[in-house]
Amino acid sequence: MGAPMAKRLLDWPGGLVVCDARPEATEPFAAAGARVAAAPAAVAAEATVISVTVLDDAQVREVVTGPDGILSTARAGTVIAVHSTISDVTAVELARTCAEAGVHLIDAPVSGGAPGAQQGRLAVMVGGPEEAFAAVREPFGAFAELVVHAGDVGAGTRMKLARNLLHFISFTAATEAQRLAEAAGLDIRTLGKVVRHTDAITGGAGAIMLRETTAPVAESDGWFSILSHVRNLGEKDLALALDLGARLGVDLPLALRALTGLGPGLGVGTGTIEESTVKEHA
């Protein structure tokens, strides 16, 4: 992720400094005019906005507070942006340590994968003070289409974890759908084409994430009829899929969970599903 993100900053007016544990990774950037630093401390000696894209919490700690880390040379007012998906606890702890030196550490995880980074279409979720968010919003725009201020330090990571919760649960649901389709004698690659095509039109799961709260919806609320319609369609189709799975001998635990949880999750309660339908497939 770091390389395509950095590539889009090569023509940044203030210049670009790059650093990597593997010297060969920085060679294309040096050839394009970027300055190369041998260690994180050397980056902080030149830059006041520093993006960190490493693997995990331990590597983030080493890069930021290690013996040759960013904090050893960072000037007051420097903003360290951690794009890695780490624990929100780690982000908060490191931010406190950095604050003692007058340095801002913000958690700024990204979503959109390698294609989004290459196309400059990432989403960045920033956790940190307004002052730090203002400092990074413009440079982040070089590699991101959407830059949001999630809240205080830690909020960016919490938003990324919620986003990825949906991502990987959806993947698990996709494997369940594939098992059902395969058992039914269908080409699951063709099913994948249909899913990608229609999700691009409807927005997929994000299409229902428009309310400001997860509280129950009052019948007088304009959302009630919309979400009730979604629930009714969903319960009907889920019951039909469960019937098909039962006939084909395919266990569909996520479908059963969705049948009982869709309406309450949308805030409109269960619809027309009968208790016997749920028990039949439990």
The two three-digit tokens of residue 181, written as one number: 């389709």
Q: What residues does CATH 1.10.1040.10 cover in the chain?
A: 213-282
Q: What residues does CATH 3.40.50.720 cover in the chain?
A: 2-153
Q: What angle do CA 13, 14, 18 make, to 5 degrees?
A: 115
Residue 272 pLDDT class (50, 70, 90 cuts): confident
The per-residue pLDDT for 274 is 63
The tens digit of pLDDT for each residue in 52-74 reads 999 999 999 999 999 999 999 99
96 pLDDT higher than 90: yes
**What average pLDDT does this structure show over 104-121?**
95
Is residue 49 within 8 A of residue 81, CB to CB? The reply is yes
Helices 253-266/222-248 angle, 10° precision:
170
Residue 204 pLDDT class (50, 70, 90 cuts): very high
231 pLDDT higher than 90: yes
Which CATH code fits 213-282?
Answer: 1.10.1040.10
280 pLDDT higher than 80: no
**What average pLDDT does this structure show over 201-214?**
93
Q: What angle do CA 75, 79, 84 make, to 5 degrees?
A: 130
**What average pLDDT does this structure show over 207-223?**
94
The per-residue pLDDT for 275 is 63
Q: Catalytic residues, which ones? A: 160
**What average pLDDT does this structure show over 142-169?**
96
pTM recorded for the entire structure: 0.89
Q: Does domain 2-153 have CATH number 3.40.50.620?
A: no
Is residue 155 within 8 A of residue 82, CB to CB? The reply is no
279 pLDDT higher than 70: no
Q: Phi first, then psi: what are they for 128, rounded to 5°?
A: 165, 175
Residue 14 pLDDT class (50, 70, 90 cuts): confident
The tens digit of pLDDT for each residue in 34-48 reads 999 999 999 999 999
Is residue 156 within 8 A of residue 42, CB to CB? The reply is no
Share of the chain above pLDDT 90, in %: 94
Mean of per-residue pLDDT scores for the chain: 95
196 pLDDT higher than 70: yes
What does the alpha-carbon distance between residue 16 and residue 47 come to, in Å, rounded to a whole number?
Answer: 8
